[in-house]
Amino acid sequence: MFNLAEILTLLIGCLLALVFIDGIRRALRIRKSKLKVDLIDLSSEVSLDFEEEWKQGFEENEDLEELSDPMHEEPDPDIQPQPQINLNIIHLNDNENFSFSESTLSQALVFYNFTIEDKGFFTILDSDQLPAFSILNGKNPGVFSEGVTSNDIALVLDSKNLANPVEAFELFVEVSQSLQETFQCNILDEDRNFMTKQMIEHMKHEFHERQRQLLASAS
């Protein structure tokens, strides 16, 4: 039988052994954690390079392979994407004459509220004097300035940024048809195919649905 002194010695020895083993386990755990941190730091450097280049303004149609590179981090699911631009475009085209200019369009739009922006395009205003859509030169450089004429213009409406989508769309169609009659030109869709009544009705339905959604979210 062990006496009290021997029992105490054994207990102290066991405690010291446990402390020693625990110390070894902690050291191994810290070493593994340090290795993981080093690997994370390395991948974050690659991601940082990409983010810096992205912030400098890559064009959307460039470097698609780099964007799909698995070395880059996945986007944060908690970050909500910005709403995309939803453009509706009507072209007016006159194959025979370069009829469109800043002066001729200003005369043709005399019965509408509009402004001529410093950058060289027209902004059509709605009944609340808010921007409804724009009219641009359909040829490069896309704007009008003194002495510039064109045989093609583009009416561009962004349905994502409208307080009253239906009013803006009706004005969009009305102005395009008015200009078509004034200049005796062709009215085309965004792919430069002839615009049909069915296309207009389909677009009109989409704008009514968008306005319904806006009213539902507001209520």
**pLDDT value for 64:** 36
**pLDDT value for 42:** 32
CA angle 178, 182, 188 (to 5 degrees): 65
212 Cβ contact partners less than 8 Å away, ≥ 6 residues apart? none
**pLDDT value for 146:** 84
The H-assigned helical ranges of 56-187 are 64-67, 102-108, 165-183
Residue 164 corresponds to which amino acid? N
Structure tokens at 147: 């002495």
Cβ distance 126 to 171 under 8 Å? Answer: yes
Structure tokens at 166: 């239906």
Which has the closest alpha carbon to 211: 157, 163, 153, 139? Answer: 163
**pLDDT value for 143:** 92
**What is the phi/psi pair of residue 92, to 5°?**
-115, 125
- 5: alpha, beta or left, given left = phi > 0 and alpha = psi -120 to 50? alpha
More reliable by pLDDT, 62 or 158 = 158
**pLDDT value for 24:** 75
**pLDDT value for 160:** 79
Per residue in 105-156, pLDDT (tens digit) is: 999 999 999 999 999 999 999 999 999 999 999 998 899 988 899 999 999 9
Per residue in 74-105, pLDDT (tens digit) is: 555 555 444 456 789 999 999 889 999 999 99
Per residue in 8-60, pLDDT (tens digit) is: 777 787 777 776 777 777 766 655 544 443 433 433 333 333 323 323 332 34
Task: Report the run of H or E that residue 187 belongs to, with start and end.
Answer: strand 186-188
**What is the phi/psi pair of residue 178, to 5°?**
-65, -45
The H-assigned helical ranges of 98-184 are 102-108, 165-183
Put simply, whether the predicted model's pTM sits higher than 0.75 gets the answer no
Mean pLDDT of 180-189: 95
Structure tokens at 135: 């009219």
Structure tokens at 43: 């991948």
